[in-house]
Amino acid sequence: MAPMNTVEMREGEVGIDPPLVGRLIARQFPAWAALPVRRLDSTGTENAMFRLGTELVVRLPRHPGAVADVAHEQRWLPRLGPLLPVATPEPLGLGEPDAGFPWPWSVYRWLDGRNPVAGAVAEPERLAEDLGGFVSRLRRIDPHGGPAAARGVPLSARDEPTRAALAQLTGRIDTAAVTAPWEEALRAPAHSGPPAWAHADLSPGNVLVGGGRLSAVIDFGCAGVGDPAVDLIVAWNLLPGTARDTFRRAVGAGEAEWARGRGWALSISLIQLPYYWHSNPALAENSRHVIAEILAEAGAR
């Protein structure tokens, strides 16, 4: 796993370090006060993660835009997690602003596993089946009362920011070549079925594997109800081309949904790339990987 990014990536970020986390724990969860605190490696952009002893992890928002995710996960993970086929974060404590930290934060049970790396997946077919099973099961959970997913909207809602990102990338990537698959995705029929649950951020950093199998899915801050095609992004941001059909069959995605999923993968990567070009090299590299995979796929078609 890449070293944790400590460079400021968003406006309003606050400094978070082990002594601060130790003070928060001591003041609000004294039963855990003697446990050592260690910063965790992560390429995440929204939250800072600290291991607390051997069985716990503390997750704190890095900037104001991530604060709402705390209450979101505290509410929905207990409902979603028990219904899913792999482990998900289990909230054990809700911290309050204190000790100089301005926002709520969470304590979760520790989940074993490691983040897979795009282009170096050990057993891609097995992982593709497991990821397909996770997405399929999540979609079958009753959506009634679920929050609207920001990434569950029609793909056309992403057109303006995607083209703005393309303009920023002029001279750095082949924007003409990338525009063609984006416009192809926009022509795909919109979602016509009922809304369904989606994780909405199935990136390598939010997937844990062990023994060649999917062991856990983390970070449900974007989870919500809408067009679930966004969860197909993992076919391009993690899985190799040889395993994509296995994943697609496991999910049961038709042509239109598959095209929308490809469009989501491309849009997310294009928007991320100029934003994190310097501040988060690992995330920028994964964005370049997605773009290359989609262009190669378009050439093969």
3-class DSSP string for 224-291: EEECHHHHHHHHHHCCCHHHHHHHHHHHCCCHHHHHHHHHHHHHHHHHHHHHHCCCCHHHHHHHHHHH
Half-sphere exposure of 87 (CA within 13 A, CB side): 17
User: pTM of the entire structure?
Assistant: 0.93
Radius of gyration of the chain (CA): 19
Per-residue pLDDT of the chain (301 residues; tens, 9 = 90+): 333 444 555 567 888 999 999 999 999 999 999 999 999 987 778 999 999 999 999 999 999 999 999 999 999 999 999 999 999 999 999 999 999 999 999 999 999 999 999 999 999 999 999 999 999 999 999 999 999 999 999 999 999 999 999 999 999 999 999 999 999 999 999 999 999 999 999 999 999 999 989 999 999 999 999 999 999 999 999 999 999 999 999 999 999 999 999 999 999 999 999 999 998 999 999 999 999 999 999 887 6
Asked if 209 and 111 touch (Cβ cutoff 8 Å), the reply is no
Distance, CA of 87 to chain centre: 15
Q: How far is CA 151 from CA 86, 156, 256, in A?
A: 23, 11, 17
User: What per-residue confidence (pLDDT) applies to 10?
Assistant: 56
| Sequence-distant (≥ 6) Cβ neighbours of residue 75 within 8 angstroms | none
Distances (CA, A) of 71 to 75, 91, 162, 195: 6, 11, 29, 22
- 67, 61 contact by CB (below 8 A): yes
pLDDT of residue 5: 42
Q: What is the pLDDT of residue 42?
A: 76
C-alpha to C-alpha distances, 92 to 58, 68, 149, nearest whole angstrom? 10, 18, 25
Quick one: which of 161, 118, 170, 123 has its CA closest to 287? 118
Q: In terms of residues, how long is the chain?
A: 301
